Chain A
Amino acid sequence: MEVAVRQSAQPAEIIRQHVLAFLQSEAQFSLGSLELPSDNPLATYVEIMEVTQLGTTRNGATLVSFWQADLKVHVFTLSDVPPEADVIEAPDGDGGEDMSPCSQFILPRRDFQGLWGSLVLEPGCKERLVDFASSSLHFAAAGVQPHVISSNRMVLLHGPPGTGKTTLCKALAQKLAVRLSHVYEGAVLVEIHSHSLFSKWFSESGKLVARLFEHIQELVDDESCMVCLLIDEVESLTSARSSAASGSEPSDAVRVVNAILTQLDRLKRFPNVLTLCTTNLASSIDAAFVDRADIKAFIGLPPTAGCYTILRDCMEELMRVGLVAPPLEIAPVRRDLHVLLFAAFCARALAQCNDTLSIIWLVRYRALILMR
């Protein structure tokens, strides 16, 4: 259960109690947002109230009755602060341009709010990632000796382009900021633009990295703040090392990569840092880097069920805005959907046997059912 409240509202704990009291009157819970009656005193504070996860959604439950519900209410305020590009000024006098090697997002933020829901991945994949990430942060917060149980708090997502890796990183950071709002007061997402770390000035790149991590260090020093580092297209950093070894790139690139790796290792000591990396080319990535990642998740192309969900999502949006009318209720993917459709098409095909199209579809659905 996630509750977004408006700014300058009452303390989170009081709102939490109110929300829990309100939820007592609910008979059952399903995924999606809950409407507050306008006469409820909460309505002035609460912006969005949403059920985002039902226990173990992995087994496909869609309804939970109130006596089985173990309510976890997270209260948070959405931030509207625009992303901040962190400009590092060029070293004086040598005519270099200012670099912005990272941008900073304060979490949880409003424009990230719908991301998590819009991602269609394998069932249970998102939940697994949240559980992994939150327990590694818990391990660190509880003070587990890193020499005994090693956990780098680094997630590496790989897969073909366009499958939502970067979006998932952002959504994951947002989700963790919400879920762990009782542990960490604030949360920041720092997106590192790895391409801008390679300066055209010899030996300048290493200094850029140092300055970038100095800045990150300042953020990390605040123990009540969770810092998520997002390194997009991480192969652009790590493949540089191997190509430099073969002599095709200046040795400066090696220094950058090594500097980043050591800096990341140094950050590992701090319990409030989570590193998220994405890559398209898992094979070209540096072995030293892969070894540092705790979770290496493959995000693949959506299967048929995923495609259906995405297209259905699009249709619902078009119906909401009225570009497609009249609005219909489209069923989500169900195991028996194919059977129902098969029956419908049998009827249709029988009614108009000369319609070749229906017969083609008929054959297609038979194949689909046989596949299952």
Chain B
Amino acid sequence: MACQVPGSNTNEVEAGLLAAAEQAKGLSGRTLRKLPFLAHATYLQSTEPCTAAEFTIALQSSIADEHASRKALSMGGPAVEGIS
């Protein structure tokens, strides 16, 4: 059932999601459900639909941001790289 459009390989998406899941260890369910929104707001920001593979990459970046801003919060320092 996989569509053979370039950049929309199911395996690639699953791998991307799995990598994101692996990265998201230690985040709560509430945060996880917020991440897709943050990913869209921070990295995609378009009305055009994006491919699933693109989205997983944005998702991974926003997970990294989340970890970074959490760390900044616990250290009491400024947020990293313009993430407020």
- 8 Å CB interface, B20-74 against A: 20-22, 24-33, 35-36, 40, 49-52, 55-56, 59
A311→B17 contact, CB < 8 A: yes
Q: Which residue of B lies closest to A121 (CB)?
A: B29
B36→A315 contact, CB < 8 A: yes
B5→A326 contact, CB < 8 A: yes
With both chains docked as a complex, state the minimum distance between the C-beta of A298 and any C-beta of chain B, in angstroms.
14
With both chains docked as a complex, state the minimum distance between the C-beta of A233 and any C-beta of chain B, in angstroms.
15
B1 sits at the interface (CB 8 A): yes
Q: Which residue of A lies closest to B47 (CB)?
A: A323
A344→B11 contact, CB < 8 A: yes
Q: A311-B20, A345-B15 are in contact. Are A162 and B30 (CB under 8 A)?
A: yes
B32→A328 contact, CB < 8 A: no
B10→A329 contact, CB < 8 A: yes
A364: chain B residues within 8 A (beta carbon): 19, 22
B3 sits at the interface (CB 8 A): yes
A338: chain B residues within 8 A (beta carbon): 18
B79 sits at the interface (CB 8 A): no
Q: Which residue of A lies closest to B5 (CB)?
A: A326
B15→A344 contact, CB < 8 A: yes
A305: chain B residues within 8 A (beta carbon): 21
B56: chain A residues within 8 A (beta carbon): 315
A341→B11 contact, CB < 8 A: yes
| Number of A residues with CB within 8 Å of any CB on chain B | 41
Interface bin, chain B: 35 or more
B29→A330 contact, CB < 8 A: no
Say whether chain B's binding surface is mostly helix, strand, loop, or mixed. Answer: helix
B14→A331 contact, CB < 8 A: yes
A307→B28 contact, CB < 8 A: no
A361→B21 contact, CB < 8 A: no
A316-345 contact mask (Cβ, 8 Å, vs B): 1 or 0? 001100111110111100000110110011
B25→A307 contact, CB < 8 A: yes
Q: A163-B28, A310-B29 are in contact. Are A328 and B3 (CB under 8 A)?
A: yes
A250 sits at the interface (CB 8 A): no
Q: Which residue of A lies closest to B46 (CB)?
A: A323
- Give the docked Cα–Cα distance between A318 and B52 (Å): 9
- Give the docked Cα–Cα distance between A344 and B56 (Å): 17
With both chains docked as a complex, state the minimum distance between the C-beta of B48 and any C-beta of chain A, in angstroms.
9
B15→A315 contact, CB < 8 A: no
A308 sits at the interface (CB 8 A): yes
Instruction: List residues of chain B with CB under 8 Å of any chain A CB.
Output: 1-3, 5, 8, 10-15, 17-22, 24-33, 35-36, 40, 49-52, 55-56, 59
Q: Can you sample 6 A-B contacts with CB below 8 Å?
A: A119-B29, A161-B30, A306-B29, A326-B5, A364-B22, A368-B22
A163-B29, A337-B14 given; 9 more Cβ-contact pairs under 8 Å: A162-B28, A301-B25, A301-B27, A307-B22, A314-B36, A324-B50, A328-B13, A341-B14, A365-B15
